[in-house]
Amino acid sequence: MVNAATTAGGPKPAGRVTAQSVATLAGVSVSAVSRTYTKGASVSADTRRKVERAAEELGYRPNRLARSLMTGRTEMVGLAANTFSNPTFMQVFDLFTRRLQARGLRPLLANLAGERDAESTFDMMLQYQVDAVIIASDNPPEGFALACQAAGIPVINVFGRKQAVDAVPVVTVDNIAGGRLAAEAMLGRGIRRAAFMGGPASSVASQDRAEGFCGAFAAGGGQVLARLFAGDYAYESGRGATLELLDRNLGVQGLFCGDDIIALGALDVCRDRGVRVPEDLSVIGFDNMDMAAWSPYRLTTIRQPIAEMVDAAISQIAAHLGDAGFPLWSQVYPCELIVRASLRARE
């Protein structure tokens, strides 16, 4: 553990070290200290050396809140989402927070789960004067993104649906193509009777994955015998929907789940019911979350390049904050089939 009173350079003053303390030790003005730590500000090389030497000796860290009053920038980026029960989004938040911080930006995490949550989140974004908002959801509350834009806050939506004309730029994956990949994988292995199980019926990602899967499966000569929506992207929802499906005894050979955590719930139900995977039922998920590769599951899944999508969104926001003329635009990424043990082998 680092002790601030005994670090290199001798004892440090008790209490918080201020810019005035640094200015006094360096023999410069407080404004010179401020300019030293303000990007793009004019300060001589000699003054910078004096300030940095004094700051190191005292253990000084610039007050970013005070600096924001002078620059008009908080360097805070609102990160809003409404799917906190899904472990995949814990990975997403980890990526977002670490990579924002690596660029000197501070994430402000907010929950959009309910109508009041959306209203309070919007108020919070205004109160903290965030410089931008990233929405990590395929189903954000109606009007939230547009309200941020109307307030002059740059917004980008990760995991949203690409439209012909995007009012809000999105960084997303081609969910329809991902559904087709799942259908083609099953058809290529002799599966002709299948079911789709999505998350919330209101989720545009679930809708598009279902459209891609059901359309391609039927076009390839197969039958989609059931199209279910599990309610939300949660393990228990996957279990409940799978129990309902098995109780209907439709003779389904393949199950495409629109999310990995739903698919893991389905696999555990199969294990409990004595349904052999993949001999009796092949299961495909979507996301390629870390747990999908765990040995109890070894889930075949459709990978969406989450890390690349996060990087793209942050790069766009950072570039826009550096130059207000830099436009935000929509980007769509391809999917990839990751084959593991939950899908039967080719005949």
Work out the mean pLDDT of the chain and round it to a whole number. 88
Lowest mean pLDDT among 6-15, 38-47, 103-112: 6-15
CATH superfamily of domain region 76-174+306-334: Response regulator (3.40.50.2300)
Q: What is the CATH number of domain 19-71?
A: 1.10.260.40
Mean pLDDT of 184-202: 96
- 19-71 and 175-304 share one fold: no
Of 79, 261, 76, 258, the C-alpha closest to 157 is: 79
264-319 pLDDT, tens per residue?
999 999 999 999 999 999 999 999 999 999 999 999 999 999 999 999 999 999 99
The percentage of residues in the chain with a pLDDT greater than 90, rounded to a whole number, is 61
Confidence class of residue 36 from pLDDT cuts 50, 70 and 90? Answer: confident
| Peptide bond preceding 11 in cis form (omega within 30 of 0) | no
Confidence class of residue 7 from pLDDT cuts 50, 70 and 90? Answer: very low
Looking only at the bridges linking them, the beta strands covering 155-158 and 254-257 are: unpaired
CATH superfamily of domain region 175-304: Response regulator (3.40.50.2300)
Of 155, 138, 158, 137, the C-alpha closest to 146 is: 155
Alpha carbon distance 290, 273 (integer Å): 25
Q: Are 275 and 251 in contact (CB under 8 A)?
A: no
- For the beta carbon of residue 347, count every other beta carbon within 10 angstroms: 7
- Reading the block at residue 311, the tokens are 């990087």
Distances in whole angstroms, Cα of residue 109 to Cα of each of 88, 124, 128, 175, 179: 16, 10, 12, 26, 31
Query: How is the beta sheet containing 170-173 ordered, strand by strand?
Result: 106-111, 76-81, 132-136, 155-158, 170-173, 331-333
Place of tokens 């080719």: 346
65-87 pLDDT, tens per residue?
555 545 556 889 999 998 777 88
pLDDT confidence of residue 196: 98
Judged against a pLDDT cut of 60, whether residue 144 lies above it is answered with: yes
Would you kindly state where each structural domain of the chain is located, as residue ranges?
A: 19-71, 76-174+306-334, 175-304
- Reading the block at residue 23, the tokens are 């200015």
Task: Say if residue 255 is exposed, middle or buried (CB neighbours under 10 Å; 0-12, 13-18, 19+).
Answer: buried
Mean pLDDT of 171-199: 97
Mean pLDDT of 47-51: 87
Place of tokens 């690409």: 162
Judged against a pLDDT cut of 80, whether residue 16 lies above it is answered with: no
Task: Report the interhelical angle of 235-247 vs 260-273 (nearest 10°).
Answer: 50
Judged against a pLDDT cut of 70, whether residue 171 lies above it is answered with: yes
Please, which residues have CB within 8 angstroms of residue 47's CB and are 6 or more apart in sequence? 26, 28, 32, 36
